Amino acid sequence: MVNLKIDGKTVEIEQGATILAAAEKAGIRIPTLCFLKKVSPTGACRICVVEIEGVAKPMAACHTPAVDGMVVTTQSEKLYATRKQIIELLLVNHPLDCPVCDAGGECELQNITYEFNVTRQSFEAEDVSPGTIDGWPLIQQVPNRCVLCEKCVKVCHEVVGASALFTNDKGDKAFIDKHLELCEYCGNCVQVCPTGTMISKTFKFRARPWELRKTATVCTLCSGQCETEVQTKGNEIYRVVAEDGCGSNDGNLCIGGFFSHGYVASDRRLTAPLLKQDGIHQQPVSWEEALSRVVEKGRAAGGAACAGLGSPRLTNEENYLFQKLFRAGLGSNNLDSEARFGFLRGMMTLRDQLGLGGASNRYDRIGSAAAVLVFGADVTAEAPLVDWQIERACLQGDGKLMLANMRRVKLARHANIFLQYKPGSETGLALALARLIVDKGLADEDFLNQYLADPAALEQLRTVDIDQAAAAAGVSRALLEEAADHIGGAESVAIIFGGDLLKGCQAEAATAALADLALVSGALHGDVGGLFPLDEKGNMQGVVDMGVAPELLPGQQDYATARSRVEKAWGVSLPSGGRDAAAILEGIEQGEIRFLYLAGVNPLVDFPESGRWRQALDKVDFLVVQDILASELTECADLVLPGVSFAEKSGTVTSHDGRLGYLQPALKPVGEARPDGQIFAELLALLGGAPVEAAALQTEIKDLCGLYEDVCFTGRGRRSCQKLPWQPQPKQLKILPVSAGDPVEGLQLLAGTILFQFGSTTTYAPGPAEVAPAGYIEMNPQDGKASGVREGGRVKLTTRTGSAVGPVRFSDAVPQGLVFAPVHFADVNVQQAIPIGSCYVAVEAGKA
Amino acid sequence: MSQVIFSSWGRQIVDNRQGGETDLASLKLKLPDRYLENGAIGAFMGWDGIIVLDRETDIVAMAAEYMKRVQEKYCCAKCSPGKKGTRVLQDTLARIVSGHGEERDLEIIEGLSALLDNCKCTLCMTSALPVFDTVKYFRDDYLAYIRGRRKAKPAASYHDKLTAPCMDRCPAHIDIPSYIEEIKNRRFDESLDVIRRNMPIPAVCGRVCPHPCESACRRALVDEPISIMVLKRVAADHEWMHHKRPPMAPAGSREKTVCVIGGGPAGVSCAYYLALEGYKVTILDMLPEPGGTVAVGIPDYRMPRDLLRREYEIVQGLGVEIKFNTKLGRDISLKQVKEQYDGVFIGVGAFRSKPMGVEGEDQGYEGFSEGGINYLRAVALGQPIKTGKRVIVVGGGNTAIDCVRVALREGAEDSILVYRRTRKEMPAESYEVDDAEEEGVQFEFLRNPTRLVHENGRITGVEVVKMELGEPDESGRRRPQPVPGSEYVIPCDMVIPAIGQDPDLSFLEEDNLGIETTRWNTIVTRGGVLMTDCKGVFAGGDCEIGPMTVVAAVGQGRRAARAMARYLETGRTFLDEADAMEDLVNNLGVFDKDEPVGLAGGTHREHQPKISGPERARGWDEIELAMPETQAVREAERCLRCYRVGMVAVG
């Protein structure tokens, strides 16, 4: 600690802290312009200069360390004059377009000009700043408004890790430029810009900041669930921003949060219930009629012939009501969601092995980890917030980053080690890493002895053939050893895995192997790091937690075990059996499922074997589609029920790390659309259940789900509520005997997510369409040539499941032998070629 | 010697405009009177004032040009007063020169000069200083412009140079503030790019450089110097620790070929920069291993061999071919090389041990090493060599220190350094002496060997005489003198003389290409372009300077490469602007150890962690561990970025 005197006040602060921090601690305000707490100090504007006794020159408080015995003056006539002159300099050639500048009213340059009463200009110079940059998608750059504070550059590099922005040119011509190919279009540069230099094109010229109504809510586009503020005027979202210091996202957003809200205002929004009247044409009907039709058709089909698919797009309350509607109202346990294809598979393994039903720790505990292993995930695309935590650990901090993935994703740029493995080798690779850690004596022995049910089970790892695993993965043993040294030697380890692993054919075994690795590496030990399964979809954890799966009741309770308790609480008897998604599909095909209720889910784009779903849906007697956007799916529906977007409803969502986020309605529902929960509740009431009030519902969920007993559902003014972190139970953790699995042969097609789109929802928004307008197929140039296709040409992909056609992009981000296609786009609809149970599959590629 | 008309350099005002004579030498100003072929130097303007040699020089026009260059070429724009202030200064001066100035413009210049004291770094701050001087001391000239009584009479040419004390002091002239700035910004790859512009072996010089730059670090005037060398290692290690492929690629491909003889730091630097230009470069090296003296003269615990090899793989990746086990004068003659290639660079180093001049050293006793450098080489190459149990190393330089430490690692129970002066006078880096002591090396100071003691041709001891220090010699160190009759014998079973080495230039003798050498057995080159008296044959590194540092060799290798490229294209050798200005500011001196810096200090230099002495003394692992990057960033944040711009007006 050091002691110093600022304006006569004594303040004590930790060694290395700046004068600015010390002043803040002492309650003394030093004016700043370029300072941004969440990035390293830049010291560009010099407005925070202070005087220090015994020091001839003025020093910038934001980047001068406080030193023991310093005597600092923050206010003096000279300092005032200096600051004022600097502001005058900043205003030389600053355009007087404040009336039409987006920043007008929330401009820090305006504010500081006003504060220092700068009413005249003593300086003049030729205006040499370059012209406005209009050529970038989504963001406009107006250099003559720039004060070159570099907040944008620093956020882009230090927080987001994109490193797209940089200062170009010299002197007064200098401006912020961009390596366009590195831009992630997160909009954080726009958010941190103190002036109107970085402008959101989707917001530009549309509203004055003070006109906007602000509603604190949560982004539901991915499982990061960033805390946001939706800003509206009339009944329209104008922009979405985030506040520094709030939530794990700390004021940061990604392209999803910042630029993709346009789908809410899409002209394809569903505004009234539509009923297929004559078997062909859908006609608007009243809610009364629509709901009674559901009840009638559902009852007529009988529980065994009814099936429903819930959604990670819906809130916890909605998913809870949906499963209750099915189980208690329709007497059906044919209930599932797309968690089935990935997340649930990993989660069930973790439950069995570790008693863990999600992530083992909070996302913000990744940020201080000494080593991070990202396995089978494009974190940047699946949960950008987790990417930012990794940047905090490994780019801002000293953490070592290991990336194991089939394709080269953004994090490869920052990784110490990139293990580019071949499809089908993931389990073996994870096991090999675990064994190496044990062999090298780096295993966390004390922890293992205390927590493993059978410490001797560690010996199983000794049977792993490391060389074979390395060969199968196509990585060198030396690299593997180095990765093991980093992971095994680190004080704290975060292991993060996602879609490419969780949706692969080895999901269960690979998850078990990663859990083994987490155990031996100490990832589950202590407050920092952890084990983090990820899924791209917003409330994937909530769907599972609320029991939208035939084997689970709310609170991730085993169906058979908790059945009587739930029956008692609900006062009904629960149905037996139950079909999962694949069985529902088979049931439809075999005519056994005749009533299908799709709530916020589109199997025609989002589900593997989407072509098979397409055919099956024709066989359903009565198809209810509840959604917010018209699609190829709603066209098939017998009844379309218009739900509402995240911005039009209240409720909660759960992130994988056990944070409950509160949605607040910022808009009134469009047309006659109704909040999804209200639809389910009314149906439940029509089917004989008791009417549900919001408060009572939350109490019911809390009472019934042990999982949620430590959180509060109402927010009470807070943005989110964090569940207590998972604690391992002594002698309860297991090493599961899994084997490496068989390597796959031949060219493989991998379907996955990309950063610019979230599910298929955002393909309805104009923002992301500027950078990712349509589907495509990424091929290694060698494979492309071998398949006879050309860059930009069209390729047909044929697998045992089906085929898909799309334009080709050559890229060496995919290695030879791997073809990648994003899942978001209905035009390519790669899911037609992807089998249930694996996101990668042998494929033949040929010219289309 | 040129007469000074006016000088404010170093804040010392000499004004002879109204008469009086002062020559440059009397002011200790090492400014040449001519610039290349361009003509006489009229004035110099820079961070410490102005020096006017020609009263006809239009100082106002020069100030305007100077500020234009500062703003348009160098101002980084990363602080508001610098970015905007120098622009206002530029335009104000231009206005005056164009005849549209007003008297109040002079107040603006003076006011801004003071405001620029608030700048983030010294570039704009120090650039305002000479301009302020012009307004203060050449006010009448300004007023003449303002009153329309004068038209601009610019010099025939102006030549500028961006420098910094550290950058100037570094023999390779690495842009140190820039690479430190990139580390501060957590952009390690970019930092390494900057380093590689002047230094192709950053992992080496990030470890073993004696870092003369740090003795010219202005931060030391505030608290402690920046750990410049270690920051270089951090940048280099970042690439290696992330398995990144270096981004360099040759610019096109040229037909001309170059042979580099000797693949040490000088040779590899020359090869690297020529390869980047697209020339086909072949390195001939007598060793079986890349690295030259770095490989066989610097022990692995200071410079891990795998990292050294990686540096060379990178150079080979640029198309440079290395032929190992090929010795000039043995396997190929210089004449042959000259015939086969369009250009030749001799960088054969200095690896021949000097004799001690004591009785018995030419007798081939068992246990007597030919020399420190030979001993280190044998160990480095894994040659069969027996290290004694009680080893005496004679000498006080880096090689001597390396030998005592290597002997410990090779199994010596006692490793003793004998030196004729005291620890204070040792030419070895003091931290290495400390390191050696921590490892258990014993020191015998003020002792000089007089005779080797042997039994049946096997060394059993060294007779030494006690010394005392007398008057300072030409090196400034007190001259050691023997104390008559104080001889005694230190028992030992091995003696390694490490009192110096010089180049082996025997290959020059056969060919008679007219290459002149010095009495210290080094090659003579001319005109700062490093060409020998034989056209097309260049030389650099230890064989040209005499045994020096890696970084000096790198600096020469790079300069030679640039001169050779010009030679290969034009058939002529000449200094270019960059070389000339580099030399000009270097002679003038950039670092002023007495400068009142006036900034807040109180911070400490960051150190990289180190394996403890006893633990490391018996192993070959690198003893200095990597500095964590956050610590490096913290250290980089201490950098004051002491950039400054100098400009000469010529003709």
pLDDT in tens, A626-636: 999 999 999 99
Residues of B in contact with A56 (CB under 8 A): 596, 598-599
**HEC assignment per residue over A225-293:** CCEEEEEEECCEEEEEECCCCCCCCCCCCCHHHHHCHHHHHCCCECCCCEEECCCCCEEECCHHHHHHH
Closest approach of A201 to chain B, Cα-based (Å): 27
Interface contacts (A, B; CB < 8 Å): 146
Q: Could you tell me whether strands B644-650 and B39-46 are parallel, antiparallel, or unpaired per DSSP bridges?
A: antiparallel
Name the band, by pLDDT with cuts 50, 70 and 90, for residue B527.
confident
Confidence bin at A794 (pLDDT 50/70/90):
very high
Same domain flag for B34 and B145: yes
B15 and B73, same domain (yes or no): yes
Tell whether B597 is covered by a domain.
no
| Interface ipTM | 0.95
Question: Which of B71, B80, B241 lies nearest to residue A86, judging by beta carbons?
Answer: B80
pLDDT tens digits for A100-117?
A: 999 999 999 999 999 999
- pLDDT at position B411: 94
Q: Is residue B1 part of a domain?
A: no
User: What is the reported pLDDT for A52?
Assistant: 98
B45 phi, psi to nearest 5 deg? -130, 130
Asked if B187 and A163 come within 8 Å (Cβ–Cβ), the reply is yes
The residue assigned the tokens 């335009």 is B91
- Averaged pLDDT of chain A: 95
Domains and CATH numbers, chain A: 2-75 (3.10.20.740), 127-265 (3.30.70.20), 274-342+541-649+666-709 (3.40.50.740), 352-533 (3.40.228.10), 748-847 (2.40.40.20)
Q: What is the DSSP letter of A130?
A: P
Q: Is residue B596 part of a domain?
A: no
Contacts of B123 in chain A (CB under 8 A): none
Summarised one tens digit per residue, pLDDT across range A772-783 is 999 999 999 999
Question: Higher model confidence: residue B128 or residue B527?
Answer: B128
Q: Which residue among B85, B598, B602 sits closest to A57, beta carbon to beta carbon? A: B598
- The share of chain A scoring above pLDDT 70, in percent, equals 99
Angle at CA of residue B257, ends B256 and B263, nearest 5°: 150
Average pLDDT over residues A164-176: 97
Enumerate residues 6+ apart whose C-beta is below 8 A from B460: B453, B454, B491, B492, B493
pLDDT in tens, B340-351: 999 999 999 999
Handedness of CA A168, A171, A172, A173 (dihedral sign): negative
Q: Tell me the shortest Cα–Cα distance from B628 to chain A, in angstroms.
A: 6
The residue of A6, A32, A46 whose CB has the most chain B CBs within 10 angstroms, and thus the best one to mutate to test that interface, is A46
DSSP B376-391: HHHHHTT------SEE
Share above pLDDT 90 across residues of chain B, in percent, rounded to a whole number: 93
Structural domain for B611, as ranges? 167-247+603-636
Residue B222 near chain A (CB below 8 Å): no
Does the beta-carbon distance from B91 to A157 stay under 8 Å? no
The residues, ordered by sequence, that sit 6+ positions from B214 with a Cβ below 8 Å of its Cβ are: B166, B220, B225, B226, B227, B228, B229
pLDDT reading at B27 higher than 70: yes
> How far is Cα A167 from Cα A337, in angstroms, rounded to an integer?
47
The answer to whether B77 contacts A147, with C-beta atoms less than 8 Å apart, is no
Residue A710 has pLDDT above 80, yes or no: no
Give the residue-averaged pLDDT of B309-331.
97
* Structural contact between residues B536 and B344, judged by C-beta atoms closer than 8 angstroms: yes
Over residues B294-317, mean pLDDT: 97
pLDDT(B283) > 70? yes
Residue type, A839: C
Is the predicted pLDDT of residue A372 greater than 70, yes or no? yes
Give the pLDDT score at B359: 86
Helix (H, G, I), strand (E, B) or coil at A401: strand
Q: Are residues B378 and B483 in the same domain?
A: yes
Q: Do B91 and A397 touch (CB under 8 A)?
A: no
Q: How large is the average pLDDT for residues B621-628?
A: 95
Chain A CB within 8 Å of residue B630 CB? yes
Domains contained in chain B, number:
4
Identify the closest residue of chain A to B604 by CA–CA distance: A16
Q: Distance (Å) from the C-alpha of residue B21 to the closest C-alpha of chain A?
A: 35
Q: Distance between CA atoms of A300 and B148, rounded to whole angstroms?
A: 102
Query: Could you give the CA distance from residue A586 to residue A579 in angstroms, rounded to a whole number?
Result: 9
B102-110, long-range: CB within 8 Å, 24+ apart, which pairs?
A: B102/B146, B103/B143, B103/B146, B105/B146, B106/B135, B106/B139, B106/B142, B106/B146, B108/A122, B108/A123, B109/B135, B110/B135, B110/B136
Provide the shortest C-alpha distance from residue B95 to chain A (in Å).
Answer: 10
Asked if B397 and B417 count as a contact pair (C-beta separation under 8 A), the reply is no
Q: Is residue B134 part of a domain?
A: yes
Residue B624 has a pLDDT of 94
Cβ of A417 within 8 Å of Cβ of B118? The answer is no
Q: Which amino acid is it at A665?
A: P
Distance between CA atoms of residues A257 and A186, nearest Å: 8
Question: Looking at chain B, which residue has its C-alpha nearest residue A16?
Answer: B603
Q: Tell me the three state secondary structure of residue A202.
A: coil
* Residue A597, CA atoms < 13 Å, CB-side half-sphere: 32
Q: Look up residue A771 and give its two tokens.
A: 């950078």
- Say what the pLDDT of residue B2 is: 83
**End residue of a domain, out of B526, B558, B574:** B574
What's CA A380's distance to the chain center, in Å?
8
Q: Which band of pLDDT confidence, cut at 50, 70 and 90, is reported for residue A717?
A: low
Whether residue B537 is contained in a domain is answered as: yes
- Mean pLDDT, range B574-578, rounded to an integer: 94
Give yes or no for residue A437 having a pLDDT over 90: yes
**B625 and B543: one domain?**
no
Give pLDDT, residue A688: 87
pLDDT of residue A718: 60
Residues in chain B with CB shorter than 8 Å from the CB of A68 are 602
CB-CB contact of A634 with A640 (8 Å) = yes
Give the mutation candidate from A123, A147, A149, A163 for the B interface (greatest B CB count, under 10 A): A123
Of A43, A82, A415, the CB nearest to B120: A43
> What whole-number percentage of chain A has pLDDT above 90?
93
Do B122 and B87 lie in a common domain?
A: yes
In a domain, B518, yes or no: yes
Distance from CA of A123 to the nearest CA of B (A): 7
B54 shares its domain with B148: yes
Measure the CA–CA gap between B540 and B558, rounded to whole angstroms.
Answer: 9
Report the alpha-carbon angle B417-B420-B423, nearest 5: 65
A residues 92-151 closer than 8 Å to B (CB): 92, 122-126, 128, 147-148, 150
- Orientation of helix B139-146 relative to helix B59-69, angle to 10°: 90
- Using pLDDT thresholds of 50, 70 and 90, give the confidence band for residue B46: very high
How distant is the Cα of B184 from the closest Cα of chain A, in angstroms?
9
Q: Write out chain A residues lying below 8 Å of B187, CB-based.
A: 157, 163
Identify the sign of the CA torsion A197, A202, A208, A214.
Answer: negative
Q: Are strands B442-445 and B414-419 parallel, antiparallel or unpaired?
A: parallel
Tell me the residues of chain A between 454 and 513 that have a Cβ less than 8 Å away from chain B: 479
B112 contacts on A by Cβ (under 8 Å): 123
- Count Cβ atoms within 10 A of the Cβ of residue A462 and give its class: 0-12 exposed, 13-18 middle, 19 or more buried: exposed
Determine the average pLDDT of the residues in A513-523. 97
Same domain, B409 and B465: yes
Summarised one tens digit per residue, pLDDT across range A603-645 is 999 999 999 999 999 999 999 999 999 999 999 999 999 999 9
From chain B residues 113-152, the ones with a CB under 8 A of any chain A CB are: 115, 117-120
pLDDT the model gives residue B471: 87
Question: Could you tell me if A39 and A83 are in contact, meaning their C-beta atoms sit under 8 angstroms apart?
Answer: no
Average pLDDT over residues A84-113: 95
Q: Does B91 touch chain A (CB under 8 A)?
A: yes
Q: Contact A496/A384 with Cβ under 8 angstroms? A: no
Q: From residue B13, how far is each of A460, B16, B27, B48, B59 by CA, in Å? A: 83, 10, 10, 11, 16
Per residue in A4-38, pLDDT (tens digit) is 999 999 999 999 999 999 999 999 999 999 999 99
Spatial CB neighbours of A604, under 8 Å, sequence gap ≥ 6 = A610, A613, A614, A617, A631, A632, A633, A636, A826, A829
Q: Taking a C-beta distance cutoff of 8 angstroms, is the pair B553, B266 a contact? A: yes
In the chain, the amino acid numbered A343 is: F
A6 exposure class (CB count in 10 Å sphere: 0-12, 13-18, 19+): buried
Residue in B204, B211, B203, B202 with CA at minimum distance from that of residue B229: B211
Structural domain contains residue B484: yes
Q: Say which CATH number the domain at B138 has.
A: 1.20.1440.230
Q: Is residue B611 part of a domain?
A: yes
Model confidence at A711, in pLDDT bands (50, 70, 90)? confident
Asked if B333 and B401 sit in the same domain, the reply is: no
Contact between residue B371 and residue B394 where contact means Cβ atoms under 8 Å apart: no
Residue of A nearest to B626 (CA): A398
Residue B603 contacts A, CB cutoff 8 Å: yes
pLDDT score of A540 more than 90? yes
Minimal C-alpha gap between B469 and chain A (Å): 42
- Tell me: do B173 and B287 sit in the same domain: no
- pLDDT, residue B357, reads 87
CA atoms A685, A688, A694, A697: torsion sign: negative
Is A791 within 8 Å of A783 (Cβ atoms)? no
For position B237, which CATH number holds? 1.10.1060.10
B637 — contact with chain A (CB < 8 Å)? yes
Q: Which of these three, B449, B484, B502, is where a domain ends? A: B502
Question: Which positions in chain B touch A126 (Cβ < 8 Å)?
Answer: 87, 91
Q: Do B184 and A40 touch (CB under 8 A)?
A: yes
In the 8-state DSSP scheme, what is residue B350?
-
Answer yes or no: do B171 and B158 share one domain.
no
B327 touches chain A (CB under 8 A): no
A81 near B CB under 8 A: no
Residue B300 C-alpha, separation from nearest chain A C-alpha, in angstroms = 21
Q: Are residues B85 and B131 in the same domain?
A: yes
Do the Cβ atoms of B600 and A55 come within 8 Å?
yes
Q: Distance (Å, rounded) from C-alpha A399 to C-alpha A491? A: 10
The nearest alpha carbon in chain A to B85 belongs to A89
Residues B71, B88: Cα–Cα separation, whole Å: 9
Closest-CA residue to A625 (of A600, A650, A658): A600
Which of the four pLDDT bands, split at 50, 70 and 90, describes residue A715? Answer: low
Q: Which helix (H) or strand (E) holds B83?
A: helix B80-97
Question: What amino acid occupies position A733?
Answer: L
Query: A284 or A720: whose pLDDT is higher?
Result: A284
Nearest chain B alpha carbon to A85: B115
Of A67, A123, A397, Cβ closest to residue B630: A397
In this structure, what CATH number is given to the domain that contains residue B527? 3.50.50.60
At residue B316, what is the residue type? Q
Tell me: do B416 and B481 sit in the same domain: yes
CA B236 to mean position of chain CA atoms: 18
Cβ of A170 and B74 within 8 Å? Answer: yes
| Contact map slice: A 565-624 vs B, CB within 8 A | none
SS (H, E, C) B473-497: CCCCCEEEEECCCCCEEEECCEEEE
The pair of structure tokens assigned to A848 is 């289309």
Task: Find, in chain A, the residue whose alpha carbon is nearest to that of B627.
Answer: A398
Mean pLDDT across B284-290: 96
Q: Which of B526, B557, B574 is the last residue of a domain?
A: B574
- Structural contact between residues A711 and A721, judged by C-beta atoms closer than 8 angstroms: yes
